[in-house]
Amino acid sequence: MKKHHLFLLTVALIYFGCEKDDVCPATTQTTPRLVIEFYDITAPDQIKSVPGLFVIGLDPDLNEISIYNELVSTRSSIALPLQNNSIQTQFKLYKSYDVIDSVVIGNPDIITITYEIETVYVSRACGYINNYSVQTFSVETDNEQWLINSEILSTQVINENEIHVKVLH
């Protein structure tokens, strides 16, 4: 009987000892990613999927950095994480990405995003998140460029439920 009372006392102390701010709810907004949606260059209001879309992050020296990336797939939008310790992030976006005999094939274009960072305190349990204010979105020009034009639709990156950049290809 003593063990039963000790167990109930322990559960009560844990339950009543926790404050509302000790657990971060799963529904709490985290640092948002930049959402890019792709459109048809010949019909700018028509969403157009990119076949074999794959993204690789780039550091300031243009070395490739692995980022959390969905499998290579045909899709019309992608959410990209911006760096928290810089005001610029670069990515290499591949169209028709594949690896054959350890050789990467596909058509890569490099994009550069510059932004300002606003750090926001959420709560003791959740800590801080970063929101971004996009300043520029540019595509490096090359002979086989498939990303033709872009338009910033929303400079404020505060959630992932809206499209931030429209890219025509």
Distance CA 158, CA 56 (A): 23
Domain residues of the chain, as ranges? 27-168
Distance CA 58, CA 82 (A): 11
Quick one: pLDDT at residue 21?
56
Q: pLDDT confidence of 102, banded at 50, 70, 90?
A: confident
What would the pLDDT profile of 3-23 be if each residue is shown by its tens digit? 555 655 555 545 555 555 578
Kindly state the helix (H) or strand (E) to which residue 5 belongs, with its residue range: helix 2-17
What would the pLDDT profile of 117-150 be if each residue is shown by its tens digit? 999 999 988 999 999 999 999 999 999 999 999 9
Residue 108 CA, distance from chain mean position: 19
SS3 (DSSP) at 44? coil
Quick one: pLDDT at residue 36?
97
Place of tokens 């045909």: 74
What would the pLDDT profile of 50-85 be if each residue is shown by its tens digit? 999 999 999 988 898 888 666 678 899 999 999 999
SS3 (DSSP) at 41? coil
Q: Give pTM, 2 decimals.
A: 0.83
Quick one: pLDDT at residue 41?
96
Quick one: pLDDT at residue 138?
97
Quick one: pLDDT at residue 27?
86
Decide which of 128 and 2 is more confident. 128
Quick one: pLDDT at residue 113?
98
Quick one: pLDDT at residue 158?
96
